[in-house]
Structures are given as C-alpha cells and as structure tokens.
C-alpha cells in the first residue's frame, strides 16, 4: 500500500458557460518515478447524492492506496459545483472536464484511463464514453435500466464491467443481463449478493470486485504494444 495525498480541487467543465466544479483528488505518493493509472468517479443521482457517497469515497481511497490516481467530483449544481442539474443532458460535459483535469496531473499514465459511475453516474459514463477514445474501460455500477434506450452504449466497444446488487430494483439482473449480452467488445457482469441499488452495507465487497477488475485491466498491454 502506498501513502496517499488527498486534496480539494476545482476544474472547469467543458462547454459554455464553463462552470467550475469541485472535486477531491486522491494521489498515490510514488518515489520510483513510475506513472499512475487514472480513474474518474461519477457519483449517483445528484438530487440525493454527491461525491461523498460511501462507495465513491471508498473506491477513491482504496484505488489511490493501490497506486491508482482517482478523482471524485460533484456534478454541476451539486454541493459547491456551479451551474444547475440537467438530469443527464449536460452532465457529460462535466465528465469531459474531469478527464482533462486528471490527465493534466504530473505522474499520470495517459494510456490507462478508467471511468467509473454509480447509478446516475453509470448512465453518464456510458453516455460519454463512446466519444472519448482516451477512456480504456468503463465500470458501470447499478445502471438505471429505465434510462436505457435502444442502442444505448453500443458504440463503446472497449472493455467494460457491470455491477449490480442481488436486490437492486433499479438495475435488476433480468433486465441488465440481456442488455449486456448485445453490447460489442469485452464485457463482464458481477452480482453483489444481498446488495440493493446504492450498495449500502456492501461497499467493501463492491469496491474489492471493482479494484480487482481495474488492476487486471491495467496489467493488460497498451494498444499497439507487444510484451515479450
């Protein structure tokens, strides 16, 4: 485990007006000069959640302790982030700003960028992901299936992991699994036994599965690189 620095940050969302958003950057302290993979974390429903969501917070801390730089942030209109909530219409611009910010940090490996979203954040991650080739993988936790329309996410052909709770009424397995099966590219599904939509009381189990997946993905060769 590495030492971790946590610091409040602000950055600018893409688009106009350019709202300033607040976040917390979790930075592993490296002394060997190696680069850190990067993860941007998108919190659940803005009307009732923010970057202090227990699973979002735990993931950021544990990822950094494992040597992975993590940024959790508040969507527009949440906490001290400027602007107004738009129920998913403009929030992808917030993700774009978060990605620009974390990739500008010293010591980051720009070839290893992961986007993680929970609930509403998973919907935004999958909405934005196909349009940014820098994103190598997406982890979608408790994707709200009522938001999923025909063809949604089909353009993201890079690796992706879906996670839902055994008793998640918003992301039930019987709706999620058929959706995943028709997506292109590598994809996986993890069911957290006993958990509901927000993973309350099961944060450790969910975080462990996500971190294991991300570490395995990081270990894969970068595109165009052959390991001997």
How many structural domains is the chain composed of? 1
Residue 224 is assigned to a structural domain of this protein: no
Radius of gyration of the chain (CA): 16
% the chain with pLDDT above 90? 92
Instruction: Please report the pLDDT score of residue 2 as a whole number.
Output: 79
% the chain with pLDDT above 70? 97
3-class secondary-structure state, position 170? coil
Distance CA(105)–CA(93), nearest Å, equals 19
Predicted structure pTM score = 0.95
Instruction: Please report the pLDDT score of residue 224 as a whole number.
Output: 46
Q: Where are the beta strands (DSSP E) in 17-159?
A: 20-28, 36-42, 69-73, 108-118, 137-141
pLDDT tens column, 43-66 = 999 999 999 999 999 999 999 999
Residue 164 is assigned to a structural domain of this protein: yes
pLDDT higher than 80, residue 80:
yes
Confidence of residue 223 (pLDDT cuts 50, 70, 90): low
- Which domain CATH number covers 43? 3.40.50.1820
Q: How many CB atoms lie within 10 A of CB 165?
A: 25
Residue 225 is assigned to a structural domain of this protein: no
pLDDT higher than 60, residue 227:
no
Distance CA(107)–CA(213), nearest Å, equals 22
Residue 122 is assigned to a structural domain of this protein: yes
Instruction: Please report the pLDDT score of residue 132 as a whole number.
Output: 98
Residue 200 is assigned to a structural domain of this protein: yes
Domain that includes residue 144, residue range: 4-219
Residue 52 is assigned to a structural domain of this protein: yes
Residue 226 is assigned to a structural domain of this protein: no
Residue 35 is assigned to a structural domain of this protein: yes
pLDDT tens column, 201-216 = 999 999 999 999 999 9
């Amino acid at each position: 485990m590495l030492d971790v620095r946590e610091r409040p940050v602000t950055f600018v969302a893409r688009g106009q007006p350019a709202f300033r958003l607040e976040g917390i950057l979790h930075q592993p302290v490296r002394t060997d000069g190696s680069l850190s993979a990067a993860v941007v974390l998108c919190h659940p429903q803005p009307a009732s959640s923010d970057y202090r969501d227990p699973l979002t917070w735990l993931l950021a801390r544990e990822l950094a302790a494992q040597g992975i730089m993590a940024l959790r942030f508040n969507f527009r209109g949440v906490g001290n982030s400027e602007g107004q909530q738009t129920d998913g219409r403009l929030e992808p611009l917030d993700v774009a700003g978060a990605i620009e910010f974390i990739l500008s940090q010293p010591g980051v490996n720009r070839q290893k960028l992961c986007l993680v979203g929970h609930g509403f954040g998973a919907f935004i991650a999958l909405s934005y992901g196909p349009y940014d080739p820098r994103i190598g993988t997406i982890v979608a936790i408790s994707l709200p299936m009522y938001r999923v329309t025909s063809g949604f996410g089909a353009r993201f052909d890079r690796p992706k992991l879906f996670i839902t709770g055994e008793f998640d009424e918003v992301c039930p397995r019987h709706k999620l699994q058929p959706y995943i099966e028709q997506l292109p590219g590598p994809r996986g599904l993890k069911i957290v036994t006993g958990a509901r939509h927000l993973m309350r009381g099961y944060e450790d189990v969910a975080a462990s599965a996500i971190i294991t997946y991300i570490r395995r993905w990081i270990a894969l060769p970068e595109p165009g690189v052959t390991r001997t």
